[in-house]
């Protein structure tokens, strides 16, 4: 997409004609014939440039310019003026207009001016992100480590998409690090200082998932007496990370789509919708287009998320990163557990790099933790032996790490294999400092 443009002119035929050739040139265009309506409806963060006629009934182009600059002084505004209004347009440029075009203008000229304005807008936005973001480029590399082409591309895309006003879709295998990518996208974007809310769709019944997502009013659901805000409301102003979107029923996907379109959520049992402003980052496993064909993903939701789709590569596609990743994971596990770091020989690391790792980063991390947790060859000297509860906790941590490795990092599948509730397993994972995808 070349840029998002708002076009304001009180003459509807001119608006329609401008929209036609701007869209044909690759722009996304919203048109307004009422300047007051435009000023109320334009969200500066979702717009790259505004084109407005200078002389209109109701509000003038200068008043539109002043109102938009109050929202965002970096938003470029281009004025359209008749010959008699040129001095007024020049004066408006002194108060913040980006440029002006005298009517009649050539469509090609407007496109050239828009390209320059959009480029300036993006440069200013990136500079603002660098100034305000708590996540620097160096920290991004630390959080998404690796020097393979796949990881370099992933980091570039995270930096590109983080501050765009788009809902996003992370496509990747379990354990590939989609959660950390989502967190980086949040921390790099304009919503970084607001909530980052997580909802795991897999493993929940349709009713429980709907209640968790939408919330409910008092007495709306049996067994739940109080009112509760859902995850969508909890993410107000921030980001909702929805893991395993394909696990959400088609009916649930339809409700989610309505919330995204309307910017409002209606709790179960409520009569009035509550406004919400959030960004959705949905993680999905498998080919999204194939899931649409299979009837597991709604086409309208797919089309909403696909412009912001980001592929998170599996570990086998960046095997050259494995030795460095494994060493860092082992060092972190040893420091966290208070255990010595095992000898990591180059030949052993090369063998790790040759494995396929179907569980991806989660499996590699579990293997690193198992390596660190390995018991010494002989009994500990007297005075160094640890108390029974500490030793039992170490054994429990090892069993859970092995279960997570076998389950490809999925806490749901690991809980099933261990025969314990997923909530209990998640508590133990947190207690032992382990990681699940």
Predicted confidence (pLDDT) at residue 224 exceeds the cutoff of 70: no
Reported as type and span, the H/E element at residue 101 is strand 99-102
Distance between CA 249 and CA 374 in Å, rounded?
42
Predicted confidence (pLDDT) at residue 382 exceeds the cutoff of 60: no
Token pair belonging to 17: 């004609």
State residue 322's pLDDT score.
95
Work out the pLDDT band at 33, boundaries 50, 70, 90. Answer: very high
Mean pLDDT of 26-38: 91
Mean pLDDT of 55-59: 88
Domain ranges of the chain: 3-132, 138-311, 316-432
Distance between CA 224 and CA 320 in Å, rounded?
51
Percent of the chain with pLDDT over 90: 39
Choose among 46, 51, 45: nearest CA to 31: 51
**Is 3.40.190.10 the CATH classification of the domain at 138-311?**
no
State residue 58's pLDDT score.
85
| Least confident piece of the model among 92-96, 308-312, 356-360 | 92-96
Q: How many residues make up the chain in this entry?
A: 437
> What would the DSSP string read from start to end of 372-429?
HHPPPSSPPPTTTPPPHHHHHHHHHHHHHHHHHHHTTT-HHHHHHHHTS-HHHHHHHH
State residue 169's pLDDT score.
96
Name the CA radius of gyration of the chain, rounded: 27
Predicted confidence (pLDDT) at residue 292 exceeds the cutoff of 70: yes
- pLDDT (tens digit, 9 = 90+) per residue, 65-95? 888 888 888 899 998 887 656 677 677 777 7
> What would the DSSP string read from start to end of 414-427?
HHHHHTS-HHHHHH
State residue 196's pLDDT score.
93
Percent of the chain with pLDDT over 70: 90
Token pair belonging to 399: 């069993």
State residue 83's pLDDT score.
64
The residues, ordered by sequence, that sit 6+ positions from 422 with a Cβ below 8 Å of its Cβ are: 203, 411, 412, 415
Mean pLDDT of 35-56: 86
Predicted confidence (pLDDT) at residue 138 exceeds the cutoff of 50: yes
- pLDDT (tens digit, 9 = 90+) per residue, 152-189? 999 999 988 988 889 999 999 988 999 999 999 999 88
Assigned superfamily of 3-132: Response regulator (3.40.50.2300)
Distance between CA 329 and CA 107 in Å, rounded?
57
State residue 184's pLDDT score.
94
């Amino acid at each position: 997409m070349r840029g998002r443009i708002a076009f304001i002119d009180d003459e509807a035929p001119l608006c329609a004609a401008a929209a036609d050739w701007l869209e044909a040139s690759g722009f996304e265009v919203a048109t307004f014939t009422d300047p007051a309506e435009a000023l109320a409806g334009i969200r500066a963060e979702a717009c790259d440039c505004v084109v407005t006629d200078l002389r209109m009934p109701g509000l003038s182009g200068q008043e539109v310019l002043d109102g938009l600059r109050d929202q965002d002084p970096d938003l470029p505004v281009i004025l359209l003026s008749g010959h008699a209004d040129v001095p007024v347009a020049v004066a408006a440029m002194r108060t913040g207009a980006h440029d002006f075009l005298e009517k009649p203008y050539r469509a090609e000229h407007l496109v050239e001016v828009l390209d320059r304005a959009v480029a300036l807008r993006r440069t200013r936005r990136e500079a603002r992100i660098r100034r305000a973001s708590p996540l620097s480029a160096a920290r991004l590399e630390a959080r998404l480590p690796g020097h393979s082409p796949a990881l370099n591309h992933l980091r570039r895309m995270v930096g590109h998409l983080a501050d765009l006003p788009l809902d996003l879709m992370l496509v990747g295998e379990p354990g590939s690090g989609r959660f950390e990518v989502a967190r980086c996208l949040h921390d790099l974007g304009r919503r970084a200082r607001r909530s980052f809310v997580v909802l795991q769709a897999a493993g929940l019944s349709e009713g429980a998932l709907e209640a968790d997502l939408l919330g409910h009013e008092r007495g709306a659901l049996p067994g739940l007496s109080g009112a509760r805000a859902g995850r969508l409301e909890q993410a107000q102003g921030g980001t909702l990370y929805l893991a395993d979107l394909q696990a959400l029923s088609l009916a649930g996907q339809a409700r989610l789509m309505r919330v995204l379109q309307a910017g409002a959520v209606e709790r179960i049992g409520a009569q009035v919708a509550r406004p919400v402003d959030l960004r959705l980052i949905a993680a999905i496993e498998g080919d999204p287009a194939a899931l649409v064909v299979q009837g597991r993903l709604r086409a309208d939701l797919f089309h909403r998320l696909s412009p912001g789709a980001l592929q998170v590569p599996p570990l086998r596609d960046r095997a050259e990163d494995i030795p460095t990743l494994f060493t860092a994971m082992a060092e972190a596990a040893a420091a966290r557990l208070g255990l010595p770091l095992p000898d990591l020989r180059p030949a052993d690391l090369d063998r790790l790099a040759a494995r396929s790792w179907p569980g991806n980063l989660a499996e590699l991390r579990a293997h690193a933790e198992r390596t660190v947790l390995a018991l010494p060859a002989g009994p500990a000297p007297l005075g160094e032996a640890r108390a029974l509860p500490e030793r039992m906790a170490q054994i429990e941590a090892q069993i859970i790490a092995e279960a997570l490795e076998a389950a490809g990092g999925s806490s749901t599948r690991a809980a099933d294999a261990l025969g314990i509730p997923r909530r209990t397993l998640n508590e133990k994972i947190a207690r032992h400092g382990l990681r699940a995808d």
